Amino acid sequence: MQDVEGKVAVVTGGVSGLGLGFGKVLARAGMKVALTYRKPRDRDAAAAWFAQAGLESPLFVELDVTDRAGFAGAADEVEAAFGKVHLLVNNAGVSVFGPTDEASYADYDWIMGVNFGGVVNGLVTFIPRIKAHGEGGHIVNVASMAAYLSGPQAGIYTASKFAVRGLSECLHYNLVPHGIGVSLMCPGLTKTNAWGAALGRPAEFAESGFGAVDRGELEGFSGAFELGMEPEDVASKTLAAVRENRFLVFSHPEYVEDFTAIFEESIAALPKEEAPEGRLHIEALRRAANRAALEGSKIGISDLT
- CA 44, 47, 53: angle at the middle one, nearest 5? 140
Q: Is the pTM of this model over 0.85?
A: yes
Which three-class secondary structure state does DSSP give residue 149?
coil
Residues ≥6 apart with Cβ < 8 Å to 123: 88, 90, 139, 167, 171
Q: 88: closest CA among 136, 137, 24, 23?
A: 137
For every one of its 305 residues, what pLDDT tens digit does the chain have, with 9 covering 90 and above?
Answer: 679 999 999 999 999 999 999 999 999 999 999 999 999 999 999 999 999 999 999 999 999 999 999 999 999 999 999 999 999 999 999 999 889 999 999 999 999 999 999 999 999 999 999 999 999 999 999 999 999 999 887 899 999 999 999 999 999 999 999 999 999 999 999 998 877 787 788 899 999 998 887 777 766 767 788 899 999 999 999 999 999 999 999 999 999 999 999 999 999 999 999 999 999 999 999 999 999 999 999 999 999 98
- Written as one string, the DSSP assignment of 194-218 is GGGGGGG--GGG---TT-S--HHHH
**Rounded to an integer, what distance in angstroms lies between the CA atom of residue 211 and that of residue 217?**
13
Catalytic residues: 157
Q: What is the DSSP letter of 267?
A: H
Q: 112: closest CA among 76, 154, 151, 152?
A: 154
Task: For the beta carbon of residue 298, count every other beta carbon within 10 angstroms.
Answer: 12
